Amino acid sequence: MSKACDRVEWDFLAGMMLRLSFHADWVVLILRCVCSVSYSVCLNRDMSEFFVPSRGLRQGNPLSLYLFLFCAEDILSAKVGSYPSFTWRSICGARDLIVEGVLWRIGNGTRVNIWNDPWIPGKTDNRLAFTDFIPHLSSVNQLIDSSTNTWNKELISSFVDEDQLKRILAIPINRHKLADTVTWKYEATGEFSVRSGYRKKLVVDVLCPLCKKEPEDADHLLGSCSILQQLWRGLQINMNPVGGTLNFKDHFINSFLTGDNYNKQVLAISLWALWNRRNKWVHEGVSFSLQETVFFIWGYLQEICFCYERLKIPPQNITEKFWSPPEYRAIKLNFDASFQSNPKTSMVAVIARNYKCEVVGAITYAVEDVVDALAAEARAWVPVSVMKLADFDRKNWLQNK
């Protein structure tokens, strides 16, 4: 019972028929047919009691398929809208994919419209590109000479060019006059499969959603995207000219590192602002303009400068002091220990520097049977203290100069 037509909500079906301008009395009649269905399940030859479903179309009823198409009609003709939910965007994306992948396989040609339907074989351009429109022709069977069962070349060549003519003449004509069928052009068998649909969608999806020209990889996001480049031109950013063996990513890093503080800020904010807009566009369908983005970035920069001024914070430079020299004629010892769990050993390194910052000695040694890293640090203290007391037993030190 798990088919698409079993999931049709009756309210939705009724609303759909009313929107398609069916008379209210007709809608009531149809709903009486649909809602009066009841089921019984046969399990191990025993029939269950009858139960009434709360949704779904009567199975085996020739009307059900048409009712289902009413519901599908809404989805096929609906627009994405300006603020679609994620689910609705996904449905519309899948719908576009299916509509784009559909190709008619010509049987007797009676169901296929010459001018509107996709019926010209090939991966792309499946709708007829005509040079002349002939109003009295509508279905493809009118282009077939039924006595010889061949294409009417003379007639067809009167409204298409040489290329289209060749593609049409190459379509084999079914001798048994079978019905026309809808096929899926991305699969060799012509049947839609989730796999080929997914693959096709992947090819579409890896393209940058902003410029739709190249795959959206790091190289593209950090430089080669034409939308990003337009944005940078709008911001009057000085990028080093691309050249040599650098790819766009490395070129970006290069420009970023060599640029002044202002350039760095603009680059960072512009990437962030564009990525934010790209996500809004992809996930919520919210479009944006480059002009608005440029103004946003300038506004943000001003805000940062304002904050720095208010807080009197100079632009950050990493000049923090990690080490300062000892007092006059004193020696400063710095030490550290590493710890290796198997076997439980530790390496200790000690460096001694005088008040002139000169290294007066250094030593490394191994300690065995250490419990853990903390113990290693603690045990490093012992020889250091001993050395201090011994007034630097110079024999143990590797003299520096």
- In the complex, the residues that contact Zn ion under the rule CB under 5 A are 208, 210-211, 225
State in angstroms the smallest separation of the CB of 228 from Zn ion: 7
- Contact indicator for 93, 75 with CB cutoff of 8 Å: no
Residue 210 or 273 with smaller CB distance to Zn ion: 210
**Residue 158: other Cβ atoms inside 10 A:** 14
Question: What 3-state DSSP class applies to 144?
Answer: strand
How many other β-carbons are positioned within 10 Å of the β-carbon of residue 353?
A: 20
Could you tell me the smallest distance in angstroms from the CB atom of residue 211 to Zn ion?
Answer: 3
In this structure, the dihedral spanned by the alpha carbons of residues 202, 208, 209 and 212, taken in order and rounded to 10 degrees, is -100
> Per the structure block, which two tokens stand in for 141?
């069977």
Residue 193: CB partners within 8 Å, gap ≥ 6?
184, 187
To Zn ion, the closest distance from the beta carbon of 216 in angstroms equals: 7
Cα 167 from Cα 127, distance rounded (Å): 11
Least separation, in Å, of the C-beta of 226 and Zn ion? 6
How far apart CA 107 and CA 173 sit, in angstroms, is 7
Q: Which is nearer to Zn ion, 13 or 225 (CB)?
A: 225
What's the token pair of residue 375? 């113990």
Where in 263-330 does DSSP place strands (E)?
A: none
Beta partners for residue 353, in sequence order: 332, 359
Minimum Å gap between C-beta 215 and Zn ion is 9
Q: Which is nearer to Zn ion, 27 or 207 (CB)?
A: 207
Nearest distance, CB of residue 124 and Zn ion, angstroms = 22
Token pair for residue 274? 């564009």
**62 prior amide bond cis, ω within 30:** no
CB count in 10 Å sphere of residue 131:
10
Minimum CB distance to Zn ion, residue 221 (Å): 8
Q: Which of residues 153 and 212 has its CB atom nearest to Zn ion in the complex?
A: 212
Instruction: Pick between residue 210 and residue 350 the one whose CB is nearest to Zn ion.
Output: 210
Nearer to Zn ion (CB atom), residue 30 or residue 210: 210
Name the residue nearer to Zn ion (CB basis): 103 or 225. 225
Kindly tell me which of 35 and 211 has the beta carbon lying closer to Zn ion.
211
Contacts (Cβ under 8 Å, ≥6 apart) of 355:
325, 326, 327, 328, 329, 330
Mapped onto helix, strand or coil, the DSSP state of residue 370 is coil
Pick the closest to residue 274 from 204, 316, 315, 216 (CA basis): 216
Min separation Cβ 381 and Zn ion, Å: 58
Instruction: Give the single-character DSSP code of 180.
Output: P
End-to-end CA distance of the chain: 90
Nearer to Zn ion, 226 or 396 (CB): 226
What 3-state class would DSSP assign to 339? strand
Q: Which is nearer to Zn ion, 168 or 225 (CB)?
A: 225
- For the bound state, the minimum distance from the C-beta of residue 203 to Zn ion, rounded and expressed in Å, comes to 16
Comparing CB distances to Zn ion, the nearer of 101 and 223 is: 223
- As measured in angstroms, the least distance from the Cβ of 218 to Zn ion is 12
- Nearest distance from C-beta of residue 6 to Zn ion, angstroms: 43
Helix runs in 52-169, H state only = 62-77, 86-101, 153-157, 162-169
348 CB-contact burial (10 Å; exposed 0-12 / middle 13-18 / buried 19+): buried
